[in-house]
A and B are shown apart, each in its own frame.
Chain A
Amino acid sequence: MRRRWPVLPLLPAAAIVVVGPGPAHAVQYLTVEQAQRLCFAEATAFEPADVKLTREQMRAIEKDSRVDVREATEKVWRVLKGATFQGWFIEDEVVGKHEFITWALALNADGSVRQIEILDYRETYGHEIRDPKWREQFVGKTHGAQLKLDKDIKNISGATLSSRHITEGVRRLLSFHDLVLKR
């Protein structure tokens, strides 16, 4: 028995699938080294100081920040100007709509937020999280700050998930600093 299949009606979908992948929009804005220089222009050394969190430390950070800790290892650098401690540089990832967003948090010596930088962003919408005005909202925040979308941090239209996860990432890393790094 010969069956006829609807080839023609499938053409619009086929057009999307075949042509759709198109040119890639994944963007690496900054390397780690470039981000370090942007955050600490005066620094003379970035000393690797990665931290392997214990299960207890992960639980403590989650309890304090109310954010899940996915990775046990934090990529950390001690920042020095000559012999003077300037602060910390932390490379981190948070969940984006499709992929992970790679970003970095720079902390002053007193633990306050000095700067955040977006290293990789692979989403369609929400590239505004690189906007200096949006990132400036975090400057000066310290452990214990509310850091909540639509409260002390403005949302980005069309990228609520990304902006919330970056905001929660800052809260999580401030807890990490308070409970682990500064001790």
Chain B
Amino acid sequence: MLGIPETIFARALCALTFLVASLVSIAPVSADEPLFGYAYTADLLPKGKWELEQWITDREGQAFGHYHNFQFRTEVEYGLTDNFQVSGYINYSYLNAKNNSVAHLTEGLDIPFNHDPTKQYSAMRFDGISFEGIYRFLSPYKDPIGLAFYVEPEVGPREMALEFRLILQKNFLDDRLVVAANAWIEFEHEQGSNLVTPGSGDVPDGAIEKATMAEIDLGVSYRFLPRWWGGIEFRNHNEFEGFSLAYRNMEHTAFFLGPSIHYGSEHWWITISALRQVGAIGVSSENKAQMRGHRIFGDEHTSWDGIRVRVGYNF
């Protein structure tokens, strides 16, 4: 199984909790804050400042049954300069599913092919580590528009990926209305699909596949009260076979929309967003087979993709 023993996870997480609680209780706090769950802004940590951040994303619901894929990221950020921020992540997840697929079976995204598809699946897993660098060329507070560039390499037992992201931010109404737009592309070496025909005796060959993801993220948020921001986010996610953006290699496109809310104080902040898959188009035959209604599932997406909570502490 790809998962790792839960006892190791329990010990590691208890240690992490102790570390977080210790840091939070001794440090003064707060700063670069995400107003959105998915879209990035050009707001960075000042030089010499640190941030500890915990991400929790529930990718919930597939075609039938129940499906919760909780993805966790524990992140430490540091401002190398006022315009250059670096960070490191540990990525891990917990999956609980039963009869989730379009075939009413327990199968698909992150479920091992040899799991009995008639039974519930539940496991924790270490997904990998990633690093991130963001360089800001233009400040949204001093220039007509904020502009930043982001790169994130990720290494894990199942995939290696390299993501590039362009971040635009425009502020209005005395900086109380923020509009953010991101365009990103990610090149992946990932393990092939686990989807096989139950009872067929087929075994995934474990081959590593190349894939390209391209996405547009948009967000608008307004500070409706001191410390409180409310907004809306939109994502258009596209996947391609191989390292290509050619239409002939396109596998699917999917659209997500939902609200986001952010609370920020001097000490800590929290951001919650809930994005619903509002539509998708399966282009490849494999992806078309994973459509139910106007949404795509299988190895690709969930109904709520996702419900994301980010909590941060600056020191």
Contact = CB atoms under 8 A, between A and B. Distances in A.
Real complex partners, A and B?
A: yes
B24 A22 contact: yes
A98 B265 contact: yes
B209 interface: no
Contacts of B311: 13, 16-17, 20
Interface string B239-266: 0000000000000000000000000111
A11 B29 contact: no
Contact of B141 (A1, A22, A164): A164
A16 B52 contact: yes
A5 B94 CA distance: 9
B141 A161 contact: yes
Given A4-B122, A158-B47, A19 B10 contact: no
B72 A9 contact: yes
B42 to A, nearest CB: 11
B30 interface: yes
Interface string A9-34: 11111111111111011100000000
A11 B66 CA distance: 24
A19 B29 CA distance: 12
B312 interface: yes
A157 to B, nearest CB: 5
Nearest to B45: A158
Interface residues of B, number: 54
B142 A11 contact: no
Contacts of A18: 21
Secondary structure of the B side of the interface? mixed
Q: For this complex, into which size category does the number of interface residues on chain A fall?
A: 35 or more
A16 B124 contact: no
B118 interface: no
A21 B267 contact: yes
Contact of A19 (B21, B96, B266): B21
Given A6-B70, A22-B29, A164-B142, A157 B47 contact: yes
Contacts of B14: 8, 11
A68 B53 CA distance: 35
Contacts of A26: 266
B226 to A, nearest CB: 4
Contact of A15 (B24, B29, B92, B312): B24
A6 to B, nearest CB: 4
A122 B266 contact: yes
Interface string B46-69: 110100101010000000001010
Given A9-B56, A16-B54, A25-B266, 18 more contacts: A1-B120, A8-B10, A9-B9, A11-B14, A13-B309, A16-B268, A16-B312, A17-B268, A21-B267, A22-B25, A95-B176, A97-B264, A124-B266, A124-B267, A125-B49, A157-B47, A158-B46, A160-B139
Interface of B: 9-10, 13-14, 16-17, 20-21, 24-25, 28-31, 45-47, 49, 52, 54, 56, 66, 68, 70, 72, 74, 82, 92, 94, 96, 98, 120, 122, 124, 139, 141-142, 173-176, 226-227, 264-268, 270, 309, 311-314
11 contacts: A3-B96, A6-B124, A9-B9, A13-B311, A18-B21, A20-B24, A22-B29, A68-B174, A125-B31, A155-B142, A157-B47
Interface of A: 1, 3-6, 8-22, 24-26, 68, 70, 94-95, 97-100, 122-125, 149-150, 155, 157-161, 164-165
The 10 closest A-B pairs by CB, nearest first: A158-B46, A20-B268, A6-B94, A124-B30, A11-B17, A15-B21, A25-B266, A15-B20, A13-B54, A99-B226
